[in-house]
Structure 1
């Protein structure tokens, strides 16, 4: 059996136990299975550094102005925690979109890079938030063995770290390993910039000036702005705005907070500005969007 077919069958077998579409969390932290049909509207979330292997169908993902489409036999590698949008564009009842996401263990990824540092020449170009690769038989086989561990909880605790190490090795030693290595080096050199990203995610409701953020990063304003956009695909203020709006959507769906109260809770000074930004990002004003997502009639 072809390696792609074997992995797709293994993922399908596990997903058959759950009738719902969408992400399926597993017993292994950071391993997520996905089944979906073509979507009418993009999905918005904060992406963690991970590999997303497409096993059936096709999807696009966008970070800022950078948009990529990838399909069965390809994978998207995300280098940095960043808000983004994505949309399944190929998948139906007969052949749904299927994918496997494995979130990177950053400590293992760095450890493997250090062992390969004399072999790999990191890319010296500007870092990118994500890039696509073609999946080879070795990567597919490693991923299948990760999925096989989902039926073996005790074995997973013992064997998964080794498979994570193998996955990192295969990616770093592969055709685009220099790009991933370049991102690792950039992250190690720019710990303060990583701290800015963390601060924007945690303190998203607080106003942040470019001057204060640049000072936190230890850079001039122009250098900080340039470095931040190269790393994430968007400006610092756009990054914070996307995180704010995603948190706002979560509050309204899961905690039933009103749109006006949510606007102030996530840091907006104006409910009308919040509504405009929300509609620009999600396609509908807050109340209409939440009613649609929760199945509540707009006439209630």
Structure 2
């Protein structure tokens, strides 16, 4: 596996800067492709990652899943293979050398399509693995990424060529050292696939009361097996996972709407406003009203939502 060259890193940085006129996260003309630029170290950003492939061209970032820390920088990539509540923070950036990265969101159906079309050989693996990982970028992966970004200069070519570049990126990831881990999200019947289905259900119904026994039954696992596999994939229990989803969504609502904390608590599934306030303070460091006031003083409210989406 060949390492990324300095020239490739420079080309990637230059392309990202062409499509990031200032700091922020920018949607591109290619569906589900984002380019990101920040010129200073950030505050921790709480959000739910969708399945995505992220590459840093310049700077460094750390991501926490539960208590586990993932650090990556230039020439590294990060893959989140499921919907995951995480805390991310840019830890190296400056005006002279801003943090520059790309994020490409994908679906498990796209992974399955590549596996089938390219006849990728997958070794069945019943042991669930962590749904986030960091790898060293190699030149073929950067080549495909560069060709995808270069299409932004040729918008007429995007509908036909962008899907091919994306398939090549996913194919390269599947052929890499974490290919088995990534493939399991699309392999029906694997433990990882069944946990992914549980995570998708929790993500869409986080505001509802859900019994873990029901999740285990739907996954066709014993309660102990379900707990073990869920924690292996996410680093937390199903209840902790749901709690993080609720609190992340509550913070997003409080930042983007004029709503009282008690109202938001009930909207995200809490039956007790006081319990919501305690758990919110435990996660974000201060009660809802104080936390949101501080964030709005630090960032323009409209841009804060974009910042938290990085």
Task: Tell me the TM-score normalized by structure 2.
Answer: 0.87
CA distance in 2, matches of 1:96, 1:236: 37
The change in CA–CA distance for 1:124 and 1:115 in structure 2 (over 3 A counts) is farther
Deviation at 1:216, TM superposition (A): 2.4
Q: Which residue of 2 aligns with 1:293?
A: 295
2:30–2:158 contact (8 Å) kept in structure 1: yes
Deviation at 1:262, TM superposition (A): 0.8
Question: What CA deviation, in whole Å up to 9, does each residue of 1:165-203 have, x standing for no partner?
Answer: 111111112233233234443775665433322221122
Q: Which runs of 5+ in 2 are unaligned?
A: 1-5, 300-310
1:1-300 equivalent positions in 2, closer than 5 A: 2-16=7-21, 19=22, 21-39=23-41, 41-115=43-117, 119-121=121-123, 125-185=127-187, 191-295=193-297
Question: What CA deviation, in whole Å up to 9, does each residue of 1:59-106 have, x standing for no partner?
Answer: 111112321101111010111111111111111111111111111243
2:109–2:186 contact (8 Å) kept in structure 1: no
The change in CA–CA distance for 1:260 and 1:142 in structure 2 (over 3 A counts) is same
1:62–1:85 contact (8 Å) kept in structure 2: yes
Deviation at 1:40, TM superposition (A): 5.1
Q: Which residue of 1 aligns with 2:305?
A: none
Deviation at 1:225, TM superposition (A): 0.9
CA distance in 2, matches of 1:63, 1:30: 22
The change in CA–CA distance for 1:193 and 1:183 in structure 2 (over 3 A counts) is closer
RMSD (CA atoms): 2.3
Task: Tell me the TM-score normalized by structure 1.
Answer: 0.90
Q: Which runs of 5+ in 1 are unaligned?
A: none
CA distance in 1, matches of 2:172, 2:120: 16
